[in-house]
């Protein structure tokens, strides 16, 4: 199974430097808990800038990074695997992003979850089997935005809201 997990602000804000636009939000720990649960036992796939923004390699899960060079998490951890998928798909046109993700899932007999960055999440939403989307309902300063706001992901199968008034955060779960 292929999954994706991501969060945004009200206007699609996605990243800020090597952190998140809403860092320090009072309900962020609930988001972290849900992220941990959603990715438990999965292989995590991410772009190189996302890996560099992590404090450390995500524990217990195989961390696969897409990119052309070796990168490290903030504490110096290296990923388990780095894959230059752009070079591979240029040379072998039948190898698509989706086929590659499904082959990783088959090879390791494990679900794969794409955890960022913005373009990879949007590409994954086109075919993934499950998604978790956290929305922080304020506007934030950001330097990375989702290329488009996700409208249709699949069927909504779960929903939780944290907070009230204007400054709330909600987590939605989808299945195709
Ligand atoms: N809101 C969220 O849910 C969330 C989640 C994760 C991260 N973030 C934040 O988002 C920012 C980082 O995300 P980003 O979108 O800027 O970057 P990113 O996708 O994490 O990293 C971009 C790099 O990944 C590599 N890459 C991406 N797609 C590829 C592909 N199809 N094949 C091969 N390599 C590929 C490329 O590296 P090369 O140039 O080496 O080829 C590209 O320069 C940070 O601010 C981070 O804190 C937010």
Q: What is the CATH number of the domain that holds 124?
A: 3.40.430.10
How far apart are alpha carbons 24 and 132 in whole angstroms? 20
> DSSP for 18-64?
TB-TTTT-TTHHHHHHHHHHHHTTSEEEEEHHHHHHSSSPPTTS-EE
For ligand 1, atom 29: residue with the closest CA: 66
Nearest to residue 39, comparing CAs of 20, 56, 21, 59?
A: 59
Domain tally, the chain: 1
Cα distance between residue 66 and residue 28, in whole Å: 26
Give which of 67, 66, 79, 154 is closest to 114, Cα–Cα.
66
pLDDT by position in tens, the chain (length 176): 999 999 999 999 999 999 999 999 999 999 999 999 999 999 999 999 999 999 999 999 999 999 999 999 999 999 999 999 988 888 888 889 999 999 999 999 999 999 999 999 999 999 999 999 999 999 999 999 998 877 778 899 999 999 988 889 999 999 99
What is the best residue among 50, 53, 141 to mutate for testing ligand 1's pocket, by most ligand atoms within 8 Å of CB? 50
Which residue range is the domain that position 146 belongs to?
Answer: 2-175
Kindly list the protein residues whose Cβ atom lies closer than 6 A to any atom of ligand 1. 6-8, 14-16, 18-20, 46-50, 53, 66-69, 85-86, 97, 115-120, 144
Q: Decide if 146 contacts 12 (C-beta within 8 A).
A: yes
């Amino acid at each position: 199974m292929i999954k994706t997990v991501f969060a945004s602000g009200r206007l699609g804000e996605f990243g800020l430097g090597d952190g998140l636009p809403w860092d320090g939000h009072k309900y962020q720990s609930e988001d972290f808990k849900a992220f941990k649960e959603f990715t438990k036992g999965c292989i995590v796939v991410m772009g190189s800038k996302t890996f560099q923004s992590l404090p450390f390699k995500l524990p217990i899960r195989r961390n696969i990074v897409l990119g052309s060079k070796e990168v490290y998490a903030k504490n110096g951890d290296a990923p388990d695997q780095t894959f230059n998928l752009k070079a591979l798909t240029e040379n072998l046109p039948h190898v698509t992003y989706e086929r590659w993700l499904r082959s990783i899932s088959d090879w390791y007999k494990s679900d794969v979850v794409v955890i960022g960055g913005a373009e990879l999440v949007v590409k994954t939403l086109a075919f993934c089997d499950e998604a978790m989307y956290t929305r922080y309902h304020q506007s934030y300063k950001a330097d990375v935005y989702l290329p488009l706001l996700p409208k249709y992901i699949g069927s909504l199968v779960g929903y939780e809201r944290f907070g009230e008034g204007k400054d709330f955060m909600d987590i939605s779960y989808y299945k195709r």
